[in-house]
Amino acid sequence: MGIFVTKVKSDRGVTEIKHGAAVIAIGTDVYQPAEYLYGENDRVMTQLELEEQINKGDEKVIKAECLVMIQCVGCRNEERNYCSRICCSESVKNALKLKEINPGMDIYILFRDMRTYGFSEDYYREAAEKDVKFIRYEPQDQPQVEAVNEDGKSILRVTATEYVLGNKLEIDADIIALAAATIPSAGSKEVAQLFKVLWARMVSSRRPMSN
């Protein structure tokens, strides 16, 4: 337990608060994927971008026949060996929203583990009941994405190995949504210096779950 004094400036003047601990919420940024044709094909987007397009009513998204979500993009690997904790719930939320708007849409979620804990577990079950298909992949055998042209139609072809039977699956998607890792916000180093906190410690405290 430390002994801190924080001065808060407001319209009423400066107030001094003595406290034993301080929590510095650094916020997060979203990892910009270098995988799965992100940045090369405008039909590959992050879950956050997908949510924006759903809210805007983008017809390319809400009228898609087939949408594939790929989980754990840019994390739970050697470079970032933590779980971002929120993206499984975000994916399920977006899948349910899309099913509500367009019940006939085929939605596949390619995952390593679905970490929809707490109340989010109910949404996971609801998504499965609404025929969202969950397909597990292994970290050493990640899905592959390629852009192909068939009969004048541009398709995003996803290949993955089905974990239980070991069969190769091929899914032709209109849209791909990536559950991109959360990373420490750009300003976190500066904030760490201001508060004299070790930045590495701030960042490593983002590992509340096992890889």
Which CB sits closer to ligand SF4, 128 or 155? 128
Shortest gap between Cβ of 162 and ligand SF4 (angstroms)? Answer: 19
- Site for ligand SF4, rule CB under 6 A: 71-72, 75-76, 83-85, 87-88, 112-113, 115, 179
Shortest gap between Cβ of 155 and ligand SF4 (angstroms)? Answer: 25
Those residues with Cβ within 8 angstroms of residue 171's Cβ, 6 or more apart along the chain or in another chain = 66, 68, 108, 157, 158, 159, 160
C-beta of residue 179 within 8 angstroms of C-beta of residue 52: no
Which CB sits closer to ligand SF4, 50 or 192? 50
Which CB sits closer to ligand SF4, 70 or 156? 70
Which CB sits closer to ligand SF4, 113 or 131? 113
Which CB sits closer to ligand SF4, 114 or 175? 114
Shortest gap between Cβ of 182 and ligand SF4 (angstroms)? Answer: 8
Shortest gap between Cβ of 79 and ligand SF4 (angstroms)? Answer: 13
Shortest gap between Cβ of 209 and ligand SF4 (angstroms)? Answer: 7
Which CB sits closer to ligand SF4, 95 or 192? 95
C-beta of residue 57 within 8 angstroms of C-beta of residue 93: no
Sign of CA dihedral 85, 206, 52, 118: positive
Shortest gap between Cβ of 19 and ligand SF4 (angstroms)? Answer: 32
Q: Give the span between the Cα atoms of 55 and 43, in whole angstroms.
A: 16
